[in-house]
């Protein structure tokens, strides 16, 4: 058969009217062009890996704005936490005084005096002042200690009716004493 070789391989017969042209120069040119385009693309990607100055400036401006908003809020929260410490100590003192006053008013008054002295010694933030016993009610005032973060920023008034156990407290952050709470 004319289209077969001896080892079973089929060879296509090309007629003389349809010449076959092989273009090795064109394939080499295409390969080189593709390689050049690929190298150029790689070079562009290497330049595009960093951030532009405008992008960096935008990020810096955004961070600055967020800091300007967040920092005052953070500082305000630390002041509130310190004021909460004073409020907590005042409430604790009143609870202990009421418990001791159930035994005797002399013991309650002695406890109030001792705790006020102890807290004034130990606290860096608040100054405690005993209001003593008026009727069945013990009173205590608290203010921000001079030289502390709470100076002119915190005032508190506390009371407890030792017979009923009713406690009251009022605090302000304006530097003026609050309206005294009622415990009777």
Total number of domains constituting the chain: 1
Residue 32 lies in a domain: no
142 burial (CB, 10 Å; 0-12 / 13-18 / 19+) is: buried
Asked if 158 and 142 touch (Cβ cutoff 8 Å), the reply is yes
Residue 52 is encoded by which pair of tokens? 């532009």
The verdict on residue 9 lying in a domain is: no
Say whether 153 sits in a helix, a strand or coil: coil
Q: Examine residue 7 and state whether it is found in any structural domain, yes or no.
A: no
Q: Using one digit for the tens of pLDDT, what is the confidence trace for 25-78?
A: 667 777 888 888 887 777 665 556 788 999 999 999 999 999 999 888 888 888
Give, for all 184 residues of the chain, the pLDDT tens digit: 454 444 444 444 455 555 555 556 667 777 888 888 887 777 665 556 788 999 999 999 999 999 999 888 888 888 888 888 999 999 999 999 999 999 999 999 999 999 999 999 998 899 999 999 999 999 999 999 888 888 888 999 999 999 998 999 999 888 788 888 888 7
- Domain assignment present for residue 12? The answer is no
- The whole domain housing 86 covers 53-172
| 10 domain-assigned | no
Residue 131 lies in a domain: yes
Helix (H, G, I), strand (E, B) or coil at 95: helix
- Whole-model pTM? 0.61
Does residue 115 sit within a domain?
yes
Is 38 within a domain? no
| Burial of 116 from C-beta contacts in 10 A (0-12 / 13-18 / 19+) | buried
């Amino acid at each position: 058969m004319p289209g077969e070789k001896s080892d079973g391989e089929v060879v296509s017969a090309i007629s003389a009217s349809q010449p076959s042209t092989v273009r090795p120069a064109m394939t080499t040119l295409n390969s080189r062009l593709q390689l050049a385009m690929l190298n150029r693309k790689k070079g562009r990607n290497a330049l595009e890996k960093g951030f532009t100055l405008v992008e960096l400036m935008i990020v810096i401006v955004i961070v600055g704005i967020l800091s300007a908003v967040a920092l005052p809020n953070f500082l305000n929260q630390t002041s509130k936490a310190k004021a909460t410490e004073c409020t907590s100590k005042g409430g604790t003192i009143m609870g202990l005084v009421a418990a001791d006053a159930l035994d005797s008013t002399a013991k309650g008054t002695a406890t109030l005096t001792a705790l006020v002295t102890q807290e004034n010694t130990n606290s860096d933030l608040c100054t405690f002042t005993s209001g003593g016993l008026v009727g069945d009610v013990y009173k205590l005032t608290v203010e921000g200690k001079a030289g502390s973060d709470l100076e002119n920023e915190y005032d508190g008034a506390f009371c407890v009716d030792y017979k009923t156990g009713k406690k009251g407290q009022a605090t302000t952050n304006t530097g003026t004493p609050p309206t005294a709470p009622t415990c009777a």
